[in-house]
Each structure stands twice: as C-alpha cells, then as structure tokens.
Amino acid sequence: MPEQALEWLAELGQQLRVDSVRCSAAAGSGHPTSSMSAADLAAVLLARYLRYDFDAPDDPRNDHLIFSKGHASPLLYAMFKAAGAISDEELLTFRKLGSRLEGHPTPRLPWVDVATGSLGQGLPIGVGIALAGQRLDRLPYRVWVLCGDSELAEGSMWEAFEHAGYAGLDNLTAIVDVNRLGQRGPTRHGWDTAAYARRIGAFGWHTIEIDGHDVAQIDRAYAEALATSGRSTAILARTKKGKGVPEVENREGAHGKPLPDPEEAIDELGGERNLRVRVKPPEGGRGGHRFPAEPLKLPAYAVGDKVATRTAFGEALAALGAARPDVVVLDAEVSDSTRTEYFADAHPERFFQCYIAEQQMAAAAVGLGVRGWTPYAATFAAFLTRAYDFIRMAAVSRADVRLVGSHAGVSIGHDGPSQMGLEDLAALRAVHGSTVLYPCDANQTAQLVATMADLEGISYLRTTRGNTRVIYRPGEEFPVGGSRLLRASPEDRVAVVAAGITVHEALAAADQLAAEGIPARVIDLYSVKPVDAATLREAARDTGRLITVEDHWPEGGLGDAVLEALADTRSAPRVVRLAVRAMPTSATPAEQLHAAGIDAAAITAAARLLAAA
C-alpha cells in the first residue's frame, strides 16, 4: 500500500480509540482499554477486507463480524459510526437506558448476529456460521471473529479450534488480540504469541503472528488469510491494552473502567476525528443451495403399541426434514441413542456431527440459526448442562434453537446417576422465553417435534429411553401451553399431575384407586412451560387435592411449575409432590421408579392418604 494509505489507516485506528474513550466516558463505565488494543486490527478490517452492506444487514452475501471479546463493544460501536451506520449522537448513548448500544453487543442492533460477553462463545458460534456458508448456503461470505487472549483459557474455544480445523473452514478467520492483560492481571501466556500459535496450529489452523499495531503487517495478514485455502486462519496480534494513552497503556488495574482523564487521553490520541469508511459491498450470487421439500407425513403409531419417545422423535425428525428443507440437526456423538441417526441417514447433507463437544454443538446451532436455518440439537439430557451458558446466551441473542434431551430421569435404569438428566426441566424452565415439552407417547412426541420447528426462542423436548405404551391416536393435536385430561369425573377426590414416563404410572394408579372407590383425575401436563394454568386451577377447585409426580429432582421441575400456576388462587389445594429425592444407583427402570417413590404404587399410596385427610 502507498504510505498515504497506511497513514490513513493509522488515523482511522486512532479515531476508533478516541471514540471508544468518548463513549465510555459518557457512560461512566465500559471497557475502553480493551477496545484500544484492537483498534488498528479493526480499522484495517473495516476499511480493506470486510464486505458488508450496512443498509441491507439481511443480505445473505454479507460477511459476519463477531466480537467474541464482547466487552470491547465501544470499539464495535466506533466501527459502526465510522461506517455511517450510527451517528455520533447515538454513539454517546452507550450503556444508557433505552439505547441500542448495550454494554455488550446484542442483536438489538441489526448488524450484530449474536449476543457476546460471556467469553469463549463468539468463536464457537462463528464456526456454526462458517459451517452454514461452507455446506449449506454455499456463498462466499467470510466469518471474522475478534477474540481476546484471556478467553483462550476457555475450553469452548478449543472445541471450536478443533471443529474448524477438522472441517477445514477456510472461510473463518480468528483475530486474537494478544494484549497480555486480563481482568485481574497478566494472562497465562502473556505476549508469547508463539505459544498460542503452537496450540492453535496443532488443530490444523494456519497461524500468523504479527505486531497488532503495525497496519502494514495487519493488512498483509488479512490478505494471507484470504489466500489460505482448506484451513482456517488465526491471526495472533501482539498489542498493548490502552494503546496510545500512557496513563493506562499496558498497565494493570485499568480493565473495565473509563479513563481517569478522558479529555487528556483524547488529546494524547490526537483529538477527535470524523473519518468515514466506505465498506466494500458483498460479492457473489444471492442464492445458496436449496433442498427439495415433500408434504409433511409424520409417523403414526397404533394405540397400545410400545414405542420409546426417543424413537418417535428420531422418526418424526427425519419426516420433518423431508418436508422442511430448512431443518438441520446437530449431534454430540450419541445419535444412535437419541435417534437423530434417522435424520442423518435421510438427510446427511444437513446433519452436523459435533462429537462429544456439547458447547460447540449448542454454539453451532446458534450459528446455523443466524443464517436462517432451523436447528435441532440433541444429546443426553444430563449432558446439556455442559452447554448451559451457551443456552442462556442464546436466549440473550434472541436465537431460535430446538434442544432435545434423551435418557432423562431415573427411568433409564442401569446406567446410574451420571447419565440421568434430573436437572434439565428446572434448567430449561429458567431460560428466558423458553418452551419446555415432555411427551408421554410416540404420537404426542411426533406432533410436538413438528410444532417446535415454528417456535421462537429456546425450546426443549424431553424424551424417554424405554418403550412406553401409545395412548393417543395419530394426528391428535397438542398445542404448546396445553394439557390432556386422561381421567376425569365430577366425583374426583384427587388429581394426579404427571408428564412423560410418570403419566403411565399415574394411569395405572388411577385404575387401582378407582377399584378402591377413590376416583382420581389424571392430567398429562406435557407442556411444562408454558403451563396450562386453567386446567390445573380447575382440578384444584374440583378436588382440593393435587399430587404432582415427576422423574426429576423436586427443585424447579413439574411440581414447581404446578405450584407457580396455583400461587395466586384464593383457596390453595393440598399438594403432595412426588419426585426423585435420593441419589439413584444402578437398577432396572421399574426398580428405579419404585425406589424413587414415583411409580404407580407410590402414587396410589399418596392418593389414599390425601383422600382420607
């Protein structure tokens, strides 16, 4: 590049620093020093390599820019100002009530794909977007991820490096801002970019080590990344935190604070500037690969048959994939158990094997959703806990992701507690805006699988390992927020509320109670969130006595959902909650249910006592 062009890029970097200082000072909070270290990296990327139409953020050809180090949001917003996407007035609303410029980026801004701020997530999500570009969209957009050196201590980053290296995602570039200082002091490897290069290179990445404040080196590194085929590129840029302001440059204790004297800092950086960048437009055709569609024909099961709901899930998912070309499925190397292997066999081009990396699986699901695909991600219910922070942040991202947890509860039998999902209902109910579904038979499962495709936010389906009797006819509808009355009469003296595996135990108990002259209502509360409060309140009013029974710990699951629905009733019913309260061991499914006190015998005994009270 001519010297004049290099000087202009350096000036743009200074402008980004100044604007990072200004907006943080206006807010009285923020992370300007973390933004200042990466300003030169951002300047060259914005002016020379990013291809993006800020007037058309939904253009499928646009590149994707993710700030994995989301605390450097002042830098991102300064870039948006330089590109003309926001005004200087809006820049100075940073972190203020009602502003789109939140402390960490969220998709409230149309140019932000996902929420970041929980470190270690941006690169794994970037892998998902890059996978979409490589395998599904087949468009030449690139994914640029700005990472911090502190977050390289997160295991999720290494799941991402491994996955991208294995997949050969040459449309993905990680820009690592190696500024040496974390929140409380030096990082593990400091400025040793070679240490990072050895580790990342071991996963098959092309690595480039540069001075992150030399715009000529930065420019050459980006060009090299574009020219590298068959491998992802990691640019390891040695930088200084707080670059350009001696009071904070490379000094500990300045993280996450506005500069002590912003006016002096701005003077030291050369004053305010108003450079504008004409960002290059995207290239390539508008259409990616399109898959053929067929009419939806869900599997149908005869009443009385015994079918595992995990099997019905897999068969329904494969059928849905034929009817919905937008559906994609992700697995964490348990597809033979969760039954997503049926989808993999029918639609291999839309099946993504993430191996035993649940964080990467959840992140890739979010990334695929960014590109408009409809992701279903499945593993054992217990193992979704590894990805819980990603699920929580997916809700912040306003992402639409469908999660499926199999092998839930003690009913899995001999494998023991390490494999039993006993916290999943509570965890997923706690996610903002989530939907939690727990079907009890195959036909109900099939319908709910199809329903999930159009749900917004995070939805979760809990499936059962063992075979259960089919009690609903094919084609019956099960709306979200609904329930089913399986036994009901005006004479009911107690109501049993169950879901999934315990529905069958409740039905057996109701039959025994009827023989004893104790009519019992049975409610299949398949929608655990949102819950059918009207039906529950009616049962409470009619019977005055409720039993909740769940294959889950007592905290946060079905019982708590029922109590919340009844919390504002004028006359509270008597409630007995049956749940797993002792740590399970290995045993048969029937023995497990009995030992936990959630089988038909336990329900019958509880109902007798309650009815007599």
What is the DSSP pairing of strand 306-308 with strand 467-469? antiparallel
Q: Is 358 a catalytic residue?
A: yes
Strand, coil or helix: what is 575? strand
Beta-ladder partners of 353: 331
Enumerate residues 6+ apart whose C-beta is below 8 A from 147.
68, 69, 122, 123, 157, 174, 175, 176, 177
Cβ atoms within 10 Å, residue 71: 22
CB 219 within 8 A of CB 210: no
Other C-beta atoms lying within 10 Å of the C-beta of residue 294: 11
Phi–psi pair at 133, nearest 5 degrees: -65, -40
User: What distance in Å separates the CA atoms of residue 436 and residue 424, rounded to the nearest whole number?
Assistant: 10
Measure the CA–CA gap between 85 and 72, rounded to whole angstroms: 18
Q: Which of 510, 515, 579, 512 is nearest to 543 (CA)?
A: 510
Catalytic pick among 358, 423, 505, 550:
358
What are the C-alpha distances in Å from 215 to residues 10, 69, 221, 385? 7, 21, 10, 43
Name the token pair of 368: 């695929």
Give the span between the Cα atoms of 42 and 50, in whole angstroms.
10
C-alpha 279: how far from its chain's center? 30
Q: Alpha-carbon distance 81 to 65, whole Å? A: 15
Give whole-number Cα distances, 371 to 143, 210, 367, in Å: 12, 32, 7
Which token pair is 576? 């007995």
SS3 408: strand
One DSSP character per residue, 377-403 reads EEEEGGGGGGGHHHHHHHHHTT--EEE
d(CA 80, CA 272): 16
Residues with catalytic roles: 358
